[in-house]
């Protein structure tokens, strides 16, 4: 700040301490400038975040589309080849046939059937 002494006469007194003040910077002006810088920084940050969200959303949609295409390709029926096994040779068994018997499920029933 530049101070310049100005002589000022008021009736009988001479005041020499009165100074002219130049290049005044008010705190409100400095605060307004810092606020503008902060708002610019905030706007850039929000813009970057929005761009990042858009990129992530685009990637997510592309991944979903690829997954749907893969699921549709897997859902298409593909014919399976017929298996060729060696022929079965059927021959008669050398064992005798089983003779059928009534099963004995409980002691109580066995005792009743044996008395009659």
Mean pLDDT, rounded, for 97-114: 74
Planar angle of CA 26, 29, 34, nearest 5 degrees: 130
Does 13 or 106 have the greater pLDDT score?
106
Whether the full predicted model's pTM is greater than 0.75, yes or no, is no
Distance, CA of 10 to CA of 18 (rounded, Å): 12
**86: Cα within 13 Å, side-chain hemisphere:** 2
Distance, CA of 99 to CA of 94 (rounded, Å): 15
- According to the model, what pLDDT value does residue 77 have? 87
> Can you give the C-alpha Rg of the chain in angstroms?
52
Q: Is the pLDDT of residue 14 over 60?
A: no
Mean pLDDT, rounded, for 83-104: 89
Q: Is the pLDDT of residue 45 over 90?
A: yes
Give the E-state strand segments of 1-116 in sequence order.
2-5, 8-10, 13-15, 19-22
Q: Is the pLDDT of residue 7 over 60?
A: no
């Amino acid at each position: 700040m530049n101070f310049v002494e100005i002589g000022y006469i008021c009736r009988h007194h001479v005041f020499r301490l009165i100074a002219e003040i130049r290049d005044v910077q008010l705190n409100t002006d400095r605060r307004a400038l810092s606020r503008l810088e902060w708002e610019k920084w905030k706007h850039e940050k929000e813009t970057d975040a929005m761009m990042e969200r858009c990129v992530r959303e685009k990637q997510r949609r592309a991944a979903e589309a690829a997954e749907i295409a893969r699921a549709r390709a897997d859902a298409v029926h593909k014919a399976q080849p017929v298996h060729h096994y060696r022929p079965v040779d059927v021959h008669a068994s050398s064992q005798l046939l089983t003779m059928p018997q009534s099963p004995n499920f409980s002691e109580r029933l066995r005792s009743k059937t044996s008395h009659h």
